[in-house]
Amino acid sequence: MKTNHLFRFATKKTQFALLVLLFLVPHQLIAKKVTNGELLELFYYMHKALKENRVEEAKEKKEDIIYFIPSLEHSIRALDFATILSRTQLDAVTALLTEGFYNDNQREKTAACLSTLLTSFNRTVITGKLQNNPLYCTETGKNEILALLKAHVCCPVSFVNVKCLPLNGGGHQIRHIPVTVLSVEFEKQEQELIINIDSNGRIDRAFLHRDETILERYELFYLIEDSSTVALETAKNWAHRKGATETFIKLANYYWKRSMVLGINPVVAYCQSAKETGYGWYGGSVSVDHKNPCGLKKQGRNGDSPDDFMYFDSWEDGIDAHLDHLALYAGMKNYPKPRNTTKDPRHDRYLFNKGCTVTRMGKAWAVDSKYGKDLMRLILELESFTKHRLN
């Protein structure tokens, strides 16, 4: 999976083939509603249960993983991690450094180094085995990375856009690396990883910043009511890279068109739809026949059978209902609407202004306490993908 290293030494023809593999293969295998972070968490708890001889719990986690990646059922049951890694690329992280370097060659080498490091974190979580200490570290760096590997640190997103600051002595500090520390209690899992690179390009320090996480900082200002932070075509490219259905990719057109009329950031709505529908593949009680892009239930229904969820006459109606529901949560002007003017089946006044930011909205939208943070991860990934594609 060390794509960056392979790419450096490949011919132009081989480079093209590698890019095709990188951008088309990975997430087409993952058809159900799940994020990279959630899958990494399942692998972690499966290995933990196996080590502690909790066989039934380990089996349960394994079945959960199979549910989300049914095409690899045999490999997952056999714990064939080589096949799982090669066919899903769940461990792969692409890092982009946008500031702090005047030398393009140094920036590219550092980005490749960081990508490899974050990939090794994820690979350790997926396989349950510590990866070999990288050779691009000082002794201090090796020891600190080993400690992070033992703490089951992982990177929950596929693309990371980070910032570099120059250090006295010629080195750099890399900040804004979002990671999850799976071995600690949930409230402390979301962390910022900070890495110091010495003047020779080696990792000299690698440590966590616990006072304030990246997701918490975004929570302070990432509003639902906002202009678009990503171009339409970039969002469609991102969805394609994630293995989305053609229908889901095309729905971006209406999401962007309608969201911008209402004053909603379409990135929020589109990423939420990606989470709710598994990039258009569905796989739960809601099916593609519902034309329901966000899992809205009928008025008065609280069950989880297919009939409890709203059927819409068109995808446009489903998206309109989704956006009106988001606008209601965000407390936007001219909401709530009269019921006869909205497609939203649960356009209830008590939901007004329940959450103007993504994370606050998530706490009210779903029972899962991690819903808002998982959604923020997707949003951050899409925004990082934007910068990755532009560069």
What residue ranges do the domains of the chain occupy? 3-211, 221-390
Q: What is the pTM of this model?
A: 0.60
- Full pLDDT tens readout for the chain, 391 residues: 333 333 333 444 444 443 433 433 444 455 456 788 889 999 999 999 999 999 999 999 999 999 888 889 999 999 999 999 988 888 889 888 877 777 778 888 888 888 999 999 999 999 999 887 656 788 888 888 988 999 999 998 888 887 788 877 778 888 888 899 998 887 788 888 989 988 888 888 898 876 544 555 555 567 899 889 899 999 999 999 899 999 999 999 999 999 999 999 999 999 999 999 999 999 889 999 999 999 999 998 988 999 999 999 999 999 999 999 999 999 999 999 999 999 999 999 999 999 888 888 988 898 888 888 889 888 888 887 755 443 4
Per the listing, tokens 């009329």 go with 261
290: nearest Cα among 300, 298, 301: 298
pLDDT of 12: 42
Q: Report the C-alpha gap between 323 and 71 in whole angstroms.
A: 33
DSSP label of 298: P
pLDDT of 126: 95
Instruction: Estimate to the nearest angstrom the gap between the alpha carbon of 295 and the chain centroid.
Output: 19
Cis amide prior to 336 (ω within 30 degrees):
yes
Task: Identify whether the C-beta of residue 323 lies closer than 8 Å to the C-beta of residue 273.
Answer: no
pLDDT of 5: 36
247: nearest Cα among 287, 218, 191, 295: 287
pLDDT of 369: 80
114: nearest Cα among 191, 182, 180, 172: 172
End-to-end CA distance of the chain: 22
Task: Identify whether the C-beta of residue 294 lies closer than 8 Å to the C-beta of residue 288.
Answer: no
Please give the structure tokens belonging to residue 298: 């009928």
Q: Does domain 221-390 have CATH number 1.10.12.10?
A: no
* Amino acid (one-letter) located at 226: D
Q: Report the C-alpha gap between 211 and 166 in whole angstroms.
A: 22
Give the dihedral sign, CA 222/209/163/168.
positive
pLDDT of 135: 62
Q: Please report, for residues 26, 38, 68, 70, 94, the alpha-carbon distance to residue 126 in angstroms, rounded to integers and kept in the order given.
A: 15, 12, 15, 17, 17
